[in-house]
Amino acid sequence: MRTRPLKVALLGCGVVGSEVARIMTTHAADLAARIGAPVELAGVAVRRPDRVREGIDPSLVTTDATALVKRGDIDVVVEVIGGIEPARTLITTAFEHGASVVSANKALLAQDGAALHAAAEANGRDLYYEAAVAGAIPLIRPLRESLAGDKVNRVLGIVNGTTNFILDKMDSTGAGYQEALDEATALGYAEADPTADVEGFDAAAKAAILAGIAFHTRVRLDDVYREGMTEVTAADIASARRMGCTIKLLAICERAADGESVTARVHPAMIPLTHPLASVREAYNAVFVESEAAGQLMFYGPGAGGSPTASAVLGDLVAVCRNRLAASRGPGESAYTRLPVSPMGKAVTRYHISLDVADKPGVLAQVATVFAEHGVSIDTVRQTGKDGEASLVVVTHRAHDAALSGTVEALRNLDTVRGVASIMRVEGE
């Protein structure tokens, strides 16, 4: 074993960063044995240096992150500060000064992953980011290494623990959205401002990363269709139950049937209770991968939190340090297919549409005619009525999103349709 330690700079020492530092210290001997050399925490960049950080030598703490990554003797920079800047500049500066990088920064990777990979390549360094997508769940490495010889056609998953907790509580207890959100906040699953989670921004960034790796093409955050789950109601949950389904906020990345394009989207969807993702409870994450040779694979576990995320960071740290000792590099960006990302209008899925209609003869015939005129085939229909008003629930076969949008607009123009109560996609059949 080499006795000279590999030096690690830590950018950020919050929930995740402090746990990374703790594990590096308490598991130092094991990490050294697995890597083939000891690892040494050489510096910790923070915004508030006066805060007490248990187990961290105060002499290592600095507010000058730029000077830390420019030192020249740093082997690996671990970036867990998040956001776009200064993280982007610090990472590229680290590459330029000889360090490899381990990051958990999903927002930055979804927006500028190509540029970061290019900077790593130009400087002969590694960029690893297992912790950016699903916490402790090994997902990035299986996609870009274990399945490198296979053809992935679809990635379908729950990649945000906060939204899964909220929807699970709505489903299991009958709670409304706000009540479930309040419980998630009280338990620490939701931030004081939960917008990034409940509006789908967090999941969309992860979908961009997953799609890019799975399909060997460049997918940015702006390419991902995003729809949050704040409009999901208790009535939607109940309707899903009647269909033998539950509702999840899903990240869906698909290769088109002709193989000439891909789609990436995040939105609430009904999935059958028989599907493995339906049983994912509380704040857990799970991702379903479908490939030609391996078939269906499912990855499941805690997708957030200090310890789970730190586990993924340390796994990357071990891999990068091993590469460093061997004077080699791990896999970089693979974007050779250059497939275009199709707009949401070309996505194909099933739909559950709930209509408020007049309770009189001929209504169902009018509605069915509209669906037929727009080329959308109906799978099932359920109608209930009382006192001149009725509810009509239509479940379609698979159709293009654009065709369904035209259908809904035409339905709104019918005199017998009082309103469209809800539209929900149905996945995982």
Task: For residue 83, give both structure tokens.
Answer: 């956001």
User: Which one, of 398, 181, 137, 396, lies nearest residue 280 by Cα?
Assistant: 137
Side-chain half-sphere of 202: how many Cα atoms within 13 Å?
Answer: 26
Side-chain half-sphere of 84: how many Cα atoms within 13 Å?
Answer: 6
Task: For residue 399, give both structure tokens.
Answer: 């159709």
Cα 424 from Cα 391, distance rounded (Å): 15
Contact (CB, 8 A) for 283 and 161? yes
Q: List, by residue number, the catalytic residues.
A: 206
Q: What DSSP string describes 74-121?
A: -SEEEE-S-SSTTHHHHHHHHHHTT-EEEE--HHHHHHHHHHHHHHHH
Task: For residue 12, give both structure tokens.
Answer: 């950020």
**For the chain, counts of helices (H) and of strands (E):** 15, 17
Give the CA distances from residue 227 to residues 202, 221, 424, in Å, rounded to whole numbers and listed in that order: 11, 13, 11
Task: For residue 310, give both structure tokens.
Answer: 């730190």
Cα 286 from Cα 250, distance rounded (Å): 10
Q: Which residue has the tokens 């931030």?
A: 191
Cα 262 from Cα 198, distance rounded (Å): 25
Cα 277 from Cα 152, distance rounded (Å): 19
Residue 74: alpha-carbon gap to chain centroid: 31
* Rg value, the chain, Cα: 24
Name every residue whose Cβ is closer than 8 Å to that of residue 343 and which is 6 or more positions away in sequence. Answer: 225
Give the CA distances from residue 403 to residues 60, 261, 350, in Å, rounded to whole numbers and listed in that order: 59, 19, 11
Beta strands 245-255 and 152-158, pairing class: antiparallel
